[in-house]
Structure 1
Amino acid sequence: MVTTFRTTALTEVAAEAALAVPGVAGLQPRLAQRLAAAAAPTRTDTTSHRAPPPEAAVRADRAPDGSGWRIEVRCVLTEDRRALDIAQDVHDRVAFAAASHLTALGDVERVTVEVTVTRIAGRRDVA
């Protein structure tokens, strides 16, 4: 239970940090999450049309060898800056935010971050 709570909190921290980077248009859920959402029973209220939460595009789990945390961030970028520069900024901010979060919990562990750019949105795609 504590690990699940810690993982959920870590994904939220990572999503928030990634979305704060200039040039990040949004976060994109993994295909499995998108398929699961599409297969879910449709609801008649307005919540059925909401986008998945940003943390759905972030995966955090323990490294298999127990050496710390692995975080994967899947993001959509704008074409305002070079994709490499934006991805590096996402990596650095997420790594810092995650390490700070874990340290505040008394859990000083290594954090490895992987950033995947899923697409680059044109100016008219972002609005």
Structure 2
Amino acid sequence: MTTAGPAAFVGVAADAALAVPGVTGLPPRLARRLAAAAVPARTYPTSHHAPPEAGVRAERAADGSGWRVEVRCALAEGRRPLDVARDVHDRVRAALTSRLAAERVTVMVTVTRVAARDDRT
């Protein structure tokens, strides 16, 4: 059983999600966006560009039985969002399960937007 914390899995989950065709990015949650907006722009000139990990949240399940991972995805048009979301779910779950062989991993995927191919965020 692995005892690593959620930060160890966020990068793995982000890499797996971004490898899925049709995923253009992993936008951060609203709370993170608001926090970034509160920081003066001159302190962090690239604060409007969040790292991919900002769109992934990992936490222990309430009953301690495993991990819950939420992945927020922005998609490009051209593929059905349901198909892309399933692919993201499967890839993220496979990537994390290989690291957490003895623990249960629950993956939730939220599609935040479907953008034109040239409109990437």
User: TM over 0.5: same fold?
Assistant: yes
Gaps in structure 2 of 5+ consecutive residues? none
Q: What's the counterpart of residue 18 of structure 1? A: 17
| Aligned residue runs from structure 1 range 73-92, under 5 A | 73-92=71-90
**What CA distance in whole angstroms lies between the structure 1 residues aligned with 2:104 and 2:100?**
10
Measured after TM superposition, the shift of residue 39 of structure 1 is 0.5
Instruction: Describe the SS at the equivalent of 2:8.
Output: helix
Q: Which residue of 2 aligns with 1:94?
A: 92
Which residue does 1:113 correspond to in 2?
107
Distance 2:42 2:55 in 1: 23
How many percent identity over aligned positions?
Answer: 64
Residue 49 of structure 1: aligned partner:
46
Count of aligned pairs? 119
Judge conservation of contact 1:79–1:121 (CA < 8 Å) in 2: yes
* Residue 27 (structure 1) shift: 0.5
Residues 61-93 of structure 1, C-alpha deviation per residue, up to 9 Å, x if partnerless? 000011100000000001121100000000000
Structure having the higher helix fraction is 1
Q: CA deviation at 1:124?
A: 2.1
Q: Which runs of 4+ in 1 moved over 4 A?
A: none
User: Considering only aligned residues, what root-mean-square deviation do their CA atoms show, in Å?
Assistant: 1.8
Matching residue's letter, 1:89: D
TM-score, length of structure 1 as denominator length? 0.86
TM-score by length of 2: 0.90
In the TM superposition, what whole-angstrom CA distance separates every residue of 1:14-68 from its partner, at most 9, and x where no partner exists?
Answer: 0000000000011110000000011123335xx5225111111100000001110
